Amino acid sequence: MDAGFEAHLRTDGVRFDAADAELLRTIDEAGSLNRAADALGRSYSRAHQRLTDLEESVGPLVVRQRGGSGGGGSRLTDDARDLLARFERLRAEFTGTARVEETVLSGRVGAREGELVSVDTPAGRVRALAPESNSGRSDDATGTTPDGTPVQVAVRADAVTLHDPTDAPAEAATSARNRFAGVVVGLDRGEAVARVLVDVGADEGVAALVTASSVEQLGLQEGVDVVASFKATATRASHREA
């Protein structure tokens, strides 16, 4: 089980995410599932099956009308509008928190690989996008970030995923190659979103944003062991004074 930032709701095992919200909103605007599928570039059969799966979990979301002078169509139920409102509140809370939440680790460049650098930090080696030069190009592309260069690496809380150590995917099975075992040292819960601080052995803990439901599913609380992971492409290195 892992907990990441992407906003979603989960009901009876069915996940409701941004793509599902877009489908419902487009049905509402277009007036039918068929026209909504066309507008979104999705097949009607797949859109219909997804709507069926959601309705089996949360109840009727669309009222379908056939024939008549207007040619039939579809409209959202009150439950569907409530579901959309809940999702938008969740996403707004995520977005507002994510704007200011960032973890910064200091270290030195240990190796280079194309546009990426490996940075040795107190928490361990972090792979990140190379610093940018004054020209706006990656320093790594021009070879101007030599080994040993002091840098700092930053990763946003919305890019960090938390895993149960017993259920964390193998490194080869995920693109999030920055992985650190740690322990939860802080947990601030909101109505829908929680900020989790994980001690990974550095001066600063790694901050992550997860849904409130993920807190329950992972059993997150202070003292619980977790694995924090994030992609190299979500991590930016920048120059710092030695």
CATH number assigned to the domain comprising residue 55:
1.10.10.10
Percentage of the residues of the chain whose pLDDT score is greater than 90? 48
Which of 98, 117, 141 is the last residue before a domain boundary?
98
> What predicted TM-score, i.e. pTM, was given to this entire model?
0.60
Domain termination residue (choose one: 70, 98, 126) = 98
Q: 132-157: per-residue pLDDT in tens? A: 765 555 565 555 667 788 999 999 88
Angle, alpha carbons 231-193-153 (nearest 5°): 30
> What is the DSSP secondary-structure string of 26-89?
HHHHHSSHHHHHHHHT--HHHHHHHHHHHHHHH---EEEE-STTTT-EEEE-HHHHHHHHHHHH
- 116 and 234 housed in the same domain: yes
CB-CB contact of 175 with 54 (8 Å):
no
Q: Residue 67 — pLDDT band, cuts 50, 70, 90?
A: low
Same-domain pairing of 75 and 34? yes
Work out the number of other CB atoms within 10 angstroms of the CB of residue 9. Answer: 18
Q: 6 with 77, same domain? A: yes
How many structural domains are present in the chain?
Answer: 2
DSSP-derived 3-state class of residue 216? helix
pLDDT tens digits for range 22-51: 999 999 999 999 999 999 999 999 999 999
Per-residue pLDDT at 16 exceeds 80: yes
Q: Quick one: 158 and 202 in the same domain?
A: yes
Residue numbers of the domain that contains 121: 102-239
Q: Which of 98, 124, 153 is the last residue of a domain?
A: 98
Q: Is the pLDDT of residue 4 over 90?
A: no
